[in-house]
């Protein structure tokens, strides 16, 4: 058992497995608590329901639960939203030859395939009510009957479900069976949005960088400057970690071996439809326009966040001066015609390291 410390938080003890730490990257208190719950519940047979916004890592949680479960069978994932409702039953339960028109062969369903392992039902909130009744029966009896089959087959699997919906609302509105909800929600695990754990972004990017280098040895990956990192931290991340992964992959193509600036982040990496005009609640404007677009931005949006914009310019100038002077603060201060102590103060305020990356 080790102890992680995150600035501004109390000590949180973590009992997470190193294999899970390399899978679910993050050290913020919300993520450490989530990993602790996963470690505790993984070895049991209890049904787990993973809730959280899209792209936040629900499937990754299912993979971690399976990995730490000690179960010898496979992890079988079914996305209930991706399979047309009328095909979902045969996908899950399988069918015998001739069970219906087009059933030319016997088909083993996903539930049977998961025997001895974990069945992961993603987007369970999309499951039709009739099938929910069948799933409930299956969970109670641990037996399935293929469509068109006569015999019952014993199955032993651990159920993990996920949804991005508030399933209690679905229950309240009659779209999801309450009895099934209680049966599958034995252990709820909530995956926080990326905005709730933005402090993990540098760590997640480093992990992505290492993974890419391991996959493609010799590849030059992008280097995010501290200004670029700040711009990433300010973004609202509606697409969560998936969106961050896309940004990293885009950067790897466009800025291989180069320094990525805040301007690159805003203008190229965060695509326009990802770019919110606010950070999703704190009120900070996160998509500052380039200088040449300022007039248009004020005309179109009615305002820009001038204070923030000036801080970004200031940080950019300081980083540039440090870079040109090999990280020497005294020389950088001279280049900017300010006092060394003033520069040190500004660097502290703007979280700029001596050697700006
Ligand atoms: N903590 C994390 N560390 C590293 N990578 C992560 C983390 N969380 C998520 N990812 C990556 O982000 C991507 C999206 O994760 P995942 O598919 O698990 O999300 P999801 O919540 O299941 O999405 P959806 O709601 O669309 O089903 C994947 O590439 C996953 O590997």
* Confidence (pLDDT) at 347: 87
Pull the structure tokens for residue 354.
């001596």
pLDDT at 348: 84
Rounded-to-integer distance, Cα 266 and Cα 233, Å? 12
For ligand 1, say whether the CB of 54 is within 6 Å of any of its atoms: yes
Determine how many CB atoms are found less than 10 A away from the CB of residue 43.
12
Q: Which residues pair with 154 in a beta bridge?
A: 143
The two three-digit tokens of residue 114, written as one number: 């998961």
Q: Is the dihedral of CA 331, 333, 337, 340 positive or negative?
A: negative
Tokens of 25: 């990257």
pLDDT in tens, the chain (357 residues): 333 333 333 345 566 688 999 999 999 999 999 999 999 999 999 999 999 999 999 999 999 999 999 999 999 999 999 888 888 999 999 998 887 888 888 899 999 999 999 999 999 999 999 999 999 999 999 999 999 988 999 999 999 999 988 999 999 999 999 999 999 999 999 999 999 999 999 999 999 999 999 988 888 899 999 999 999 999 999 999 999 999 998 898 888 889 999 888 988 888 644 333 333 333 333 334 444 456 656 666 677 677 776 777 788 788 888 878 888 899 999 989 899 989 988 888 887 876 544
Ligand 1 atom index nearest CA of 164: 25
From ligand 1's centre to the CA of 59, what distance in Å? Answer: 6
The DSSP 8-state label assigned to residue 16 in this structure reads -
Going from the N-terminus, what domains does the chain have, and what CATH number goes with each? 42-192 (3.40.50.300), 195-304 (1.10.8.60)
Question: How far is it between the farthest Cα atoms of the chain?
Answer: 86
Query: What's the burial of 9, exposed, middle or buried (CB within 10 Å: 0-12/13-18/19+)?
Result: middle
Residue keyed to tokens 């609202």: 236
Distance 240 CA to ligand 1 centre (A): 8
DSSP string, 305-352: -HHHHHHHHHHHHHHHHHHHTTT-HHHHHHHHTS-HHHHHHHHHHTT-
Ligand 1: nearest atom to the Cα of 61: 18
CB 208 near ligand 1, within 6 Å: no
Distance (Å, rounded) from C-alpha 62 to C-alpha 24?
11
Ligand 1 centre to CA of 122 (Å) is 13
Ligand 1: centre distance to CA 133 (Å): 30
Q: Is 35 in the pocket of ligand 1 (CB under 6 A)?
A: no
Reduced to 3 states, what is the DSSP secondary structure of residue 243?
Answer: helix
Q: Which residue bears the tokens 């905005």?
A: 195
With a 6 Å cutoff on the Cβ, whether 29 touches ligand 1 is: no
CA–CA gap between residue 214 and residue 221 (Å, rounded): 11
Q: Is 57 in the pocket of ligand 1 (CB under 6 A)?
A: yes
Ligand 1 in contact with 56 (CB < 6 A)? yes
8 A C-beta contact, residue 15 and residue 172: no
User: Residues 325, 331: contact at Cβ < 8 Å?
Assistant: yes
User: What is the chain's percent helix, strand, coil content, to nearest 5?
Assistant: 50, 10, 40
pLDDT at residue 183, as a whole number: 97
ipTM over 0.90? The verdict is: yes
Question: Which tokens sit at 227?
Answer: 């200004």
What is the C-alpha separation between 99 and 105, in angstroms, rounded?
Answer: 9
Residue 340 to residues 134, 337, 352, Cα–Cα distance (Å): 72, 9, 14
165 lines ligand 1 (CB under 6 A): no
- Terminal CA-CA length for the chain: 34
pLDDT at position 279: 35
244 lines ligand 1 (CB under 6 A): no
Task: Report how far residue 125's alpha carbon sits from residue 177's, in angstroms, rounded to the nearest whole number.
Answer: 10
163, 168, 173, 175: CA torsion to nearest 10: 40
Contact, 53 vs 240, CB < 8 A? Answer: yes
């Amino acid at each position: 058992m080790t102890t992680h410390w995150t600035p501004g938080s109390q000590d949180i003890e973590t009992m997470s497995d190193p294999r899970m730490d390399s899978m679910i990257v993050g050290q913020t208190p919300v993520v450490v608590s989530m990993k602790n719950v996963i470690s505790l519940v993984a070895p049991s047979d209890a049904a787990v329901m993973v809730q959280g916004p899209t792209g936040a890592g629900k499937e990754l949680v299912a993979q971690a639960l399976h990995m730490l479960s000690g179960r010898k069978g496979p992890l079988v994932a079914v996305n209930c939203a991706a399979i047309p409702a009328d095909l979902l039953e045969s996908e899950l339960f399988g069918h015998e030859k001739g069970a219906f028109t087009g059933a030319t062969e016997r088909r083993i369903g996903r539930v049977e395939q998961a025997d001895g392992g974990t069945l992961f039902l993603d987007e369970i909130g999309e499951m039709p009510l009739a099938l929910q009744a069948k799933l409930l029966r299956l969970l109670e009896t641990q037996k399935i009957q293929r469509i068109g089959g006569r015999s019952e087959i014993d199955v032993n699997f651990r159920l993990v479900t996920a949804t991005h919906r508030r399933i209690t609302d679905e229950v309240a509105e009659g779209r999801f069976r309450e009895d099934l909800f209680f049966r599958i929600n034995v252990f709820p695990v909530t995956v926080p949005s990326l905005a709730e754990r933005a402090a993990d972004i540098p760590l997640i990017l480093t992990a992505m960088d290492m993974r890419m280098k391991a996959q493609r040895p010799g590849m030059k990956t992008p280097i995010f400057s501290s200004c670029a990192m700040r711009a990433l931290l300010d973004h609202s991340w509606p697409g969560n970690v998936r969106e961050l992964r896309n940004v990293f992959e885009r950067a790897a193509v466009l800025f291989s071996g180069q320094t990525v600036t805040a301007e690159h982040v805003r203008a190229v990496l965060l695509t326009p439809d990802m770019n919110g005009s606010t950070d999703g609640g704190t009120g900070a404007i996160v998509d500052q326009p380039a200088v040449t677009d300022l007039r248009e931005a004020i005309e179109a949006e009615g305002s820009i966040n001038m204070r923030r914009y000036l801080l970004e310019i200031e940080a950019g100038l300081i980083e540039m001066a440090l870079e040109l002077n090999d990280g020497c603060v005294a020389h950088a201060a001279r280049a900017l015609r300010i006092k060394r102590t003033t520069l040190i103060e500004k660097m502290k305020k703007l979280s700029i390291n001596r050697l700006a990356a």
